[in-house]
Chains A and B, each alone.
Chain A
Amino acid sequence: MNILEKLQNIDKRVFYLLMALAIAVPTISPLGLGVDVTPAVQRAYDFVSSLPNGGRAVIGFDYEPGDEIDLNPQAKAIIHQLGSKNIKVVAIASFPAGAMFAEQCLAILEEYGYEYGKDYVNLGHYAGGEATLAAFASNPTAVFAKDWRGYDTTSLPIMQEIKSMSDFTMAMTLNDGPTGGTGTHEWVRQAVMAHNVPLIMGVTGVLAASNETYVQSGQCKGILAGLRAAAEYEKLVDKLGEGTVGMDAQSMAHLLIVIFVVLGNAAMFLSKRAKGGAA
């Protein structure tokens, strides 16, 4: 086997080792590559900035542990912005794990002097996907009789202000896809189309492609896609965190894959040319 053939068939264990190094080294020792803010993220940030102080936001934590790496940093960054604008937050989750993530992320609001039950609440998990979201949109306390911490929701001051989805100034879904939970399409139907509440989305990188259509149609005011968007948002709210650190590792991983793809193709072309020349 000559060098060109070897380059086309590199042992996958070599790739695995290099990938592990490409991710581990920048995570342990960040490269500080920095990110430029893209128009999509800037749009989402500008939209939240344009909301009146003291409004109300509903956030759907519609993701599971596998996608926490993309979506938790997004949630934390945007919650910082909501906190700085004194916007009250109601969290719901279409996955059981989502309620736990909501609990982690909403803790940030304490830094801004928020009080549980008055300024923010974690309503917890709901089953039933879009149908339950529709029921929540019509009458939130009918779906969530108790919140995640076990309090009676009708006794919470924040829930006494909210009679339907229309009482929210904005809605957001942090979403890893429709499988098992409430997808972005369902949020568009129930928040935007049924109640005319502006929606922003935080999605995993792979879901950006299918949801970009909602941004162009105006049904979504902004979309955050993947860890990159989290890093950009962290820069905008001036709270650098997990997103920024993770981008170095993601950069190196992408670069490694592209190098391997280019190497494989270059070797294939050179090999074909050599065979053609020999013939």
Chain B
Amino acid sequence: MFLRKTLPTLIAGVCGVVVVVAYFFAIPSVQTLANHILKWQSVIAVFALGLGGVNIIRLHTKNLQRDPKNFYSLALLVTFVITIVVGLTMGQTSAAYTFIFDYINVPTGSAIFSLLAFYIGTAAYRAFRAKNAEAAILLITGCIVMMGRVPIGAKILPFTAPATDWIMSVLNVGGQRGVMIAGAIGFIAVSLRIIVGLERRAYGGE
């Protein structure tokens, strides 16, 4: 109980208070302590990264055990191992590692992202129907912004460029500010709950 609940709560509480105090007050001893905590945090984050890697290997190894013809898991494991071996033995600035990044990682990442153009396009075509006033406003605004964001829009419909600027800087900012302020208040509330030990879910509890 102490190791699973009380100790993590105490550590989180002390770390939280020290870092918050160091941010708002120029007390050298507290700021030094806060810097140490932040460095520890980055070390722990690296462990989390390693844990993620181990988890991926476990998951896809299980997938392969269940179905030896699972080509995707096999491809992931093979490329995972090759990339790690090349990175560790030849270095991350080596030609081989750069080749993997430039000619496999970047093109595949971009290709997956570019599929959005197709999916979002068809989704917009099917979903953007002016069935009521609200949908019509959304539809018209979306079309204006889409045209105003590209050079051809300004050439075909010149009013879309200034209209887009106005939509983004007036209508959009008003809504975004509300979302951000509400989000920040929620963030502060959750942080306070973690610091005082009320947010048990942060430690894996219910």
Contacts and interface: CB of A to CB of B under 8 A. Distances in A.
Interface of A: 10, 12, 15-16, 19, 23, 33-36, 38-40, 64-69, 97, 99-100, 103, 126-129, 131-132, 134-135, 138-139, 142-143, 148-150, 194, 205, 208-210, 212-213, 216, 226, 228, 247-248, 250-258, 260-262, 264-265, 268-269
A209 B170 CA distance: 11
A213 to B, nearest CB: 5
Given A129-B45, A251-B153, A265-B128, A148 B143 contact: no
A205 B139 contact: no
Given A212-B176, A254-B147, A261 B35 contact: no
A265 B129 contact: yes
B110 A66 contact: yes
A100 B101 contact: yes
18 contacts: A33-B151, A39-B165, A65-B105, A65-B109, A66-B109, A100-B92, A127-B42, A127-B49, A128-B44, A131-B45, A132-B42, A143-B42, A209-B172, A212-B169, A212-B173, A213-B180, A228-B149, A258-B143
B21 interface: no
A97 B101 contact: yes
Contacts of B128: 261, 264-265
Given A131-B41, A210-B176, A264-B128, 12 more contacts: A15-B118, A65-B113, A66-B112, A66-B113, A100-B102, A131-B38, A135-B35, A205-B149, A228-B151, A255-B147, A255-B150, A255-B152
A254 B180 contact: no
B173 A69 contact: no
B38 A257 contact: no
Interface residues of B, number: 60
B68 interface: no
Contacts, number: 167
B55 interface: no
B161 interface: yes
Given A19-B121, A261-B125, A97 B105 contact: yes
B155 interface: yes
A127 B39 contact: no
B144 to A, nearest CB: 9
Interface of B: 23, 31, 35, 38-39, 41-42, 44-46, 48-49, 91-93, 98, 101-102, 105-106, 108-110, 112-114, 117-118, 120-122, 124-126, 128-130, 139, 142-143, 146-147, 149-156, 161, 165, 168-169, 172-173, 176-177, 179-180
Nearest to A211: B176
A254 B161 CA distance: 14
Contact of B169 (A19, A36, A139, A216): A216
Contact of B42 (A12, A128, A208): A128
Contacts of A128: 41-42, 44-46
B151 A68 contact: no
Contacts of A143: 39, 42
Given A36-B161, A135-B42, A265 B150 contact: no
A142 B35 contact: yes
A143 B39 CA distance: 7
Given A64-B109, A138-B38, A212-B169, A23 B46 contact: no
A205 B164 CA distance: 13
Please indicate which of the listed interface residues A16, A134, A148 has the most CB atoms of chain B within 10 Å of its own CB.
A134
B180 A69 contact: no
Contact of A254 (B106, B113, B150): B150
A103 to B, nearest CB: 7
B73 to A, nearest CB: 21
A105 to B, nearest CB: 13
B139 A265 contact: yes
A132 B45 contact: yes
A68 B93 contact: no
Contact of A262 (B39, B143, B177): B143
Contact of A132 (B38, B93, B102, B105): B38
The 6 closest A-B pairs by CB, nearest first: A65-B109, A128-B45, A66-B113, A135-B38, A128-B42, A251-B152
A18 to B, nearest CB: 9
Please indicate which of the listed interface residues B38, B93, B180 has the most CB atoms of chain A within 10 Å of its own CB.
B38
